[in-house]
Structure 1
Amino acid sequence: MLRDLLHPDGGGGDRFRIRLLEKVEEAVDAFSALRSNRSALRRAVVGVLREAGYNAGVCKTRWEASGNLTAGNHEFIDVIAGPVGGGGDPRRYVVDLDFAGEFEIARPTAEYGRVMEAMPRGVVVVEAERLRRAVRAVAEAARRSMKARGLSLPPWRKTRYAIAKWLGPHRRSTTSAVSSSAVVSGGGGSVGCREVGFDAAVSVLPPVTRTR
């Protein structure tokens, strides 16, 4: 299931997704000098994507503690694409440069090791609903693994917290007219961004319950 959800050749061969992944990987390779500065790397990648005509932005989710949900934040890239066939709602693709790294746990069981092996290493490009399903599956596998090892589940490993990382309320910024090449050649060391505000349309879970 995870391979079908997270690998670009799964789920019917989404050509837009495959081309987008190729472009992101090219940009990551081109800006490999920024790997130690993930924030700058994300902004450089967004600059490349926007220059190529994609509606890309850097998103930062942020949520307050609520119930059994611990406060937290996360940063990633998203790309908004037109609906298939010209009808329906726009499609939102989440782009994370180290998705699997967000799910590393201590003393994993063999089962959880197989779960990690099923996930792409490095860049992941996936539609929002597919991401939600994948995160739920991995978070549940992590819970079983930690329980089997006699470890308590920390708040930041709960399903609600994991989902909130990518699908919670977020602030989205897009590159300015500054070229993405400014990140490595000078220009203050970063690509200019403009804030577009929190997108209230994106919810973590149905109203009433919220998760990490």
Structure 2
Amino acid sequence: MGSLGEEDLEKLVLDYIESSPITVSDHTDDKSSTALISLQEILGEKREEEKNLEEKIESFMRRKRLSYIGDDEKRDVMKKIVSKLRSYGYDASFSKTSWDSSFDHLEGCRVFRCTRKYEYIDVMVKGDGDGDDIIQLRRVIVDLDFKSQFELAKQTKAYKDMTELLPTVFVATEERLRRVVSLVCGEMKKSMKKEGMSRPPWRTSRYMQSKWLPENRRRVSSCKKGSWSWSVFDDGGEEARSWTMKGSSGSKTKCCFPIF
């Protein structure tokens, strides 16, 4: 039997941790249907600039029959979309997130470490004026693999119904994306508890949102390199660890979360 690669080993460890059973009391959540309705409303609250951008991307992907299997093909599709959006006059860039994650069972005892990466498209669009003819720019995120970020090995029907509403290609302002992620992660937490799964730190709302936050991204082109330092908080409002990113070549964002 051949040896496992680093990515295969990482996936096995993550799947094991997320599927480990725990004992919980069974109860019924009457708020699931309300959360589902709220998600439908948020997904439908598209600004004009979001609609226009989404229509152009979907039309381009259909016309060119763009599809992908694996990260390399996905990256190629994103670069083609960025090129097309620039031809339309958009300030579009291919953005990357990269950080080293360490998960400690006990203080001073490292049990798991991996490099976490994420890629998406970042677009600055013209928004509505404020009445003084001042043009406002809004950041719009284009994610070609949004739905899969919320997949679980085991899930309740309520959570499955919610994730089925999520689009594979998601075009949204940062504010609307935050609301979607926060709502879905709240239902994810309840689903994992009902299914007897312990929730790892990378499934918290703040951690999930960090994939798309401007403080934690590097625009590959048309971007000035800079430095940021910020903190990630868990859902209870308590600080988990500090993250730092520098614009120099080869720098990474670092985080450290305890599993338990």
Q: What's 1:132 paired with?
A: 178
> With structure 2 as the length reference, what TM-score do the two structures score?
0.62
With over 3 angstroms needed to count, the CA separation of the structure-2 counterparts of 1:127 and 1:209, relative to structure 1, is farther
Q: Identify the match of residue 206 of structure 2 among 145, 160, 172.
A: 160
Measure, in 2, the Cα distance between the counterparts of 1:23 and 1:165.
24
Q: What's 1:52 paired with?
A: 88
Q: What's 2:193 paired with?
A: 147
Q: What's 2:75 paired with?
A: 39
Residue 67 of structure 1 and its aligned partner are, at CA, apart by 8.9
Residue 84 of structure 1 and its aligned partner are, at CA, apart by 1.4
Q: What's 2:165 paired with?
A: 118
> With structure 1 as the length reference, what TM-score do the two structures score?
0.75
**How many residues align structurally?**
185
Larger radius of gyration: 2
Residue 170 of structure 1 and its aligned partner are, at CA, apart by 0.8
The code of the aligned residue for 2:39 comes to L
CA RMSD of aligned residues (A): 3.0
With over 3 angstroms needed to count, the CA separation of the structure-2 counterparts of 1:18 and 1:156, relative to structure 1, is same
% identical aligned pairs: 34
**Unpaired stretches in structure 2, ≥5 consecutive residues:** 1-37, 105-113, 242-254, 256-260
SS in 2 for 1:74: strand
Q: Identify the match of residue 2 of structure 1 among 15, 20, 39.
A: 39
Q: What's 2:225 paired with?
A: 197
Structure with higher RCO (Cα < 8 A, 6+ apart):
1
Measure, in 2, the Cα distance between the counterparts of 1:198 and 1:66.
24
Structure 1 stretches of 4+ with a deviation exceeding 6 A read: 201-205
The code of the aligned residue for 2:93 comes to G
Residue 30 of structure 1 and its aligned partner are, at CA, apart by 3.8
**Unpaired stretches in structure 1, ≥5 consecutive residues:** 175-193
The code of the aligned residue for 1:169 comes to N
With over 3 angstroms needed to count, the CA separation of the structure-2 counterparts of 1:131 and 1:23, relative to structure 1, is same
SS in 1 for 2:209: helix
Counterpart check, 1:103 vs 2:136 = no
Q: Identify the match of residue 172 of structure 1 among 219, 241, 248.
A: 219
- The equivalences for 1:5-84 within 5 A come to 5-6=42-43, 10-11=44-45, 13-36=46-69, 37-65=73-101, 72-84=116-128
The code of the aligned residue for 1:164 comes to S
Residue 204 of structure 1 and its aligned partner are, at CA, apart by 6.5
Conserved 8 A contact 2:231-2:239: no
SS in 2 for 1:27: helix
Conserved 8 A contact 2:122-2:142: yes
Measure, in 2, the Cα distance between the counterparts of 1:199 and 1:49.
27
